[in-house]
Amino acid sequence: MTVAGPDLSFHPLTRRDFPLLSNWLARPHVAEWWGTHQPTAVEEEFGPCVDGTDPTRVFVCLLAGTPVGLLQVYRLDDNPDYARAVGLEQAAGMDLFLGDAERCNRGLGPDIIAAALDMIWAAYPEVTRAMAGPSVRNARSIRAFEKSGFTAVGAVRVPGEEDEEMVLLCPRPIAA
């Protein structure tokens, strides 16, 4: 699937991607926000998504065919505890990271976010808005979402998370 330009594409995460994902999750700039994952933890967290028993859609982001990051999109209604914690209904969420620190701060994050929004609007026609919930300390991520049309609406405490999350929202575009 090609979205947001000819050089940016996505492929659904497979178990063949788990070693790469484990490597990325061990890198300091990713582990700070996602935690360090051992290979067994990668299987536990992402295996159900690959198998289809968890409805979260997870993709490897490719730039000119080279893997550069991870994207996941999901309906909040499929995660009712999380939806309650952030206080949203009829919304879809996204999480992402870039695997290589040298790719950060170069505009790639907003490009992936724009593509993720297109995916959300196509996959979940019933949702009225998209949300992201990075750590309140993750200024780089918050900036990338704001550059992509999201508005910060406030911090929330999500059970099981170390930091408060900054809830950022982007309304579904009105059809012309």
Q: Whole-prediction pTM value?
A: 0.89
* Residue 30 pLDDT: 84
Q: What is the pLDDT of residue 176?
A: 54
Contact between residue 120 and residue 157 where contact means Cβ atoms under 8 Å apart: no
Q: What is the CATH number of domain 8-128?
A: 3.40.630.30
Closest listed residue to residue 99, CA positions, set 25, 37, 32:
25
Token pair for 124: 């979940």
Select from 175, 5, 166 the least CA-distant residue to 93.
166
- Six-digit token string for 136: 């309140």
* Predicted pLDDT of residue 136: 93
pLDDT, tens digit (0-9, with 9 covering 90-100), for 1-39:
434 455 889 999 999 999 999 989 988 888 888 876 666
CA angle, 98 then 99 then 103, to 5°? 60
Per-residue pLDDT in tens (0 to 9) along the chain, 176 residues: 434 455 889 999 999 999 999 989 988 888 888 876 666 788 899 999 999 999 999 999 999 999 999 999 999 999 999 999 999 989 999 999 988 877 776 778 889 999 999 999 999 999 999 999 999 999 989 999 999 999 999 999 988 888 899 999 999 988 65
For residue 167, CA distances in Å to 89, 91, 131, 150, 151 come to 13, 12, 7, 9, 8
pLDDT score, position 2: 37
Q: Please report, for the chain, the start and end positions of each structural domain, with discontinuous segments joined by +.
A: 8-128
Q: For tokens 């040298």, name the residue.
A: 102
CA 34/CA 30 separation, integer angstroms: 6
Q: H-helix or E-strand containing 48? A: helix 39-51
